[in-house]
Structure 1
Amino acid sequence: MKHITTDELRTMTGREGLVIQGCGGDLTEWINGINDMLTQEGILHNGDTFKDVSVFEHDGCTNLLFSLKNVDLDMGKLAIWRLRSHETFGGTWLSDYLPNRLGVDMDQPPAQKEKPDCALIGQDGNIFNLMGIASRALKENGLGEQAKEMRERITASGSYDKALCIIGEYVNITSTQDEQEPDYDFEMEQSY
């Protein structure tokens, strides 16, 4: 379970998920309960569960977003369950929640955030070190989802050169010297 902001939620126009509204108490119990309920209803297949679940706050309510990506389920049965249980759980699709609750124009592509600068030149060149620095830069700029995606792509790349190219897709690679430039007059230093 990961916590996201409504700003991060607004960028998810290309995804689909089930939003459960007004969740109180232990959120892990909510996730386990929904997974158990949907398994008993024959909606989740082959012992699969919703693993990619996000938590967000909106209008004073705690809400859960169950991503439909990579889940073995019967979509028709889920749609019927959502309608039947709407009064109890406030269940809605992400594609309905974004325009109706957050005012997102679903016809507009999500605004792309600029790549943050990341001082990698001059760092220890171990790819895991560079990946960690780039990941931290992304997270500090509100791009936690991109950080996760970048890490997954790097670990699957199988090549140092490919991994460096992937990092460059997510951050502007700069030098550590750019951050450490002394702010003094060179002529004064020579007079010593």
Structure 2
Amino acid sequence: MKINSITLSDLRRMNGKEGLILQGCGGEIKEWMDGINKMLTDKGILLDNTKFENVSVFQNDGVTCILYPFEDVHLDIGKLAMWRLQSYTAFAGTWLSDYVENKLGGFITDEQSKAEKVKPDCALIGQDGNIFNLLGIASHTLKQNGMADEAKEMCSRVTSSESYCEALNIIGEYVNITDGSEQSDDIDEDFNEGQAMKL
């Protein structure tokens, strides 16, 4: 059995998944796992000797909640739906999808997730246009902003890119390219000259 600790942001990224959330789960989480597994097995809701092996715990408004994901278990969904309604006063049970939509503002799409990442400003305009120089400056900026994983990912993508222009575009996905020298007259030349360059 595994108990995972997750955030509300993690929940909002579980688009396409479903599960049962019980609210107000004080005390030992393992006791909740064992108790719910036994209860749902006895009531013929958990089938084929399956049980919830991996649950996730999170906090919301000072309340401890447990997510029982439907992956890797065989359930009689109809019986579970009835049990959830009948036991609502005791467990405040709800579906993952309903909880996220009604309490957290809905699931985060891939597009929203990318937009949520705030790109730090990075003064690349006016610098030595060597791609490895620009990459080094951008990487340093990301690390300074606590984005070491993004810096590593950016470096990997840039070094395997096919052209100077593509490499610049990749860097631009991770940092907000700004003009540190207030001289941007020759930026178009840098782009035009670099398009044919290979790393």
CA distance in 1, matches of 2:62, 2:48: 36
Contact 1:13–1:98 (CA<8 Å) still a contact in 2? no
Which among 29, 32, 35 is matched to residue 34 of structure 2? 32
TM-score (norm 1): 0.57
1:46, distance to aligned residue in structure 2 (A):
1.8
Note the 1:1-192 alignment, pairs <5 A: 1-104=3-106, 106=107, 109-110=109-110, 111-113=112-114, 172=153, 174=155
Partner secondary structure for residue 49 of structure 2:
coil
1:12, distance to aligned residue in structure 2 (A):
1.1
Identical-residue share of aligned pairs (%): 48
CA distance in 1, matches of 2:40, 2:64: 21
One-letter code aligned to 1:103: G
Find runs of 4+ consecutive structure 1 residues off by over 4 angstroms.
none
CA distance in 2, matches of 1:93, 1:20: 9
1:101, distance to aligned residue in structure 2 (A):
1.1
1:173, distance to aligned residue in structure 2 (A):
7.1
Q: Mean Cα displacement is larger for which, 68-77 or 88-97?
A: 68-77
> What stretches of structure 1 of length at least 5 have no aligned partner?
115-139, 144-170, 179-192
CA distance in 1, matches of 2:12, 2:70: 17
CA distance in 2, matches of 1:174, 1:50: 40
CA distance in 2, matches of 1:41, 1:76: 12
1:13, distance to aligned residue in structure 2 (A):
2.2
Partner secondary structure for residue 75 of structure 2:
coil
1:75, distance to aligned residue in structure 2 (A):
0.9
Partner secondary structure for residue 96 of structure 1:
helix
Where does residue 133 of structure 2 map in the other structure?
none
Partner secondary structure for residue 64 of structure 2:
strand
CA distance in 1, matches of 2:24, 2:72: 25
One-letter code aligned to 2:153: N
Where does residue 140 of structure 2 map in the other structure?
none
CA distance in 2, matches of 1:46, 1:13: 27
- Number of matched pairs: 121
1:145-171 deviation per Cα after TM superposition (whole angstroms, max 9, x unaligned)? xxxxxxxxxxxxxxxxxxxxxxxxxx7
Partner secondary structure for residue 172 of structure 1:
helix
Tell me which structure has the larger Cα radius of gyration: 2
Contact 1:20–1:64 (CA<8 Å) still a contact in 2? yes
CA distance in 1, matches of 2:113, 2:88: 33
